[in-house]
Amino acid sequence: MRMLVVDAFAGRAFAGNPAGVCLLTGAADAAWMQRVAAEMRHSETAFVRPLQDGGADFEVRWFTPKTEVALCGHATLGSAHALYETGTAEAGRPIRFRTLRSGVLTVTPEEDGALAMDFPVMRADPVEVPGGLAEALGAKVLHTGRNAQNDLLAEVPDETSVRDLAPDVRALAGIDARGVIVTAAAAPGRDHDFVSRFFAPRVLPGDAEDPVTGSAHCALAPYWAERLGRDALTGYQASPRGGYVRVALHGDRVTLAGRAVTVLDGALRV
For the chain, the domain total comes to 2
Residues 131, 244 share a domain: yes
Query: Out of 44, 68, 155, 159, which one is annotated catalytic?
Result: 44
Residues 130, 62 share a domain: no
pLDDT digits (tens, 9 = 90+) for 134-149: 999 999 999 999 999 9
DSSP 130: P
Residues 220, 193 share a domain: yes
Question: Please, what is the Cα angle at 131 between 128 and 132, to 5 degrees?
Answer: 135
Tally of CA atoms within 13 A in the half-sphere of 191 that contains its CB: 3
Question: Please, what is the Cα angle at 98 between 85 and 3, to 5 degrees?
Answer: 35
Q: Is residue 119 part of a domain?
A: no
Q: How far apart are the first and last CA of the chain?
A: 9
Q: Is residue 117 part of a domain?
A: no
Q: Is residue 75 part of a domain?
A: yes
3-state helix vs strand vs coil in the chain, percent to 5: 20, 35, 45
Does residue 53 carry a pLDDT above 90?
Answer: no
Residues 146, 236 share a domain: yes
Q: Is residue 47 part of a domain?
A: yes
CB atoms within 10 A of CB 68: 18
pLDDT digits (tens, 9 = 90+) for 227-261: 999 999 999 999 999 999 999 999 999 999 999 99
CATH value at residue 241: 3.10.310.10
pLDDT digits (tens, 9 = 90+) for 28-37: 999 999 999 9
Of 252, 241, 265, residue with least CA distance to 11: 241
Four-residue CA torsion sign, 118, 7, 28, 214: negative
Find the DSSP H helices in the chain.
Answer: 30-40, 73-85, 133-137, 159-163, 169-173, 214-228
This prediction has a pTM of: 0.95
Residues 96, 148 share a domain: no
Amino acid at 218: C
pLDDT digits (tens, 9 = 90+) for 94-153: 999 999 999 999 999 999 999 999 999 999 999 999 999 999 999 999 999 999 999 999
Cα–Cα dist 64/74, whole Å = 12
Residues 166, 141 share a domain: yes
Q: Compute and round to an integer the Cα radius of gyration of the chain.
A: 18
Q: Is residue 195 part of a domain?
A: yes
Domain limits for position 104: 2-111+259-267
What are the DSSP calls for 147-214, one per residue?
A: -TT-EEEEE-S-HHHHHT----HHHHHTSSSSEEEEEEEPPTT-SSSEEEEEE-TTTS-TT-EESS-H
Answer yes or no: 44 catalytic.
Answer: yes
Amino acid at 211: P
Residues 132, 93 share a domain: no
Residues 42, 82 share a domain: yes
What does the chain come to in residues? 270
Residues 133, 104 share a domain: no
Please give the average per-residue pLDDT across 182-190, as a whole number. Answer: 98
Q: Is residue 116 part of a domain?
A: no
Q: Is residue 224 part of a domain?
A: yes
Residues 151, 47 share a domain: no
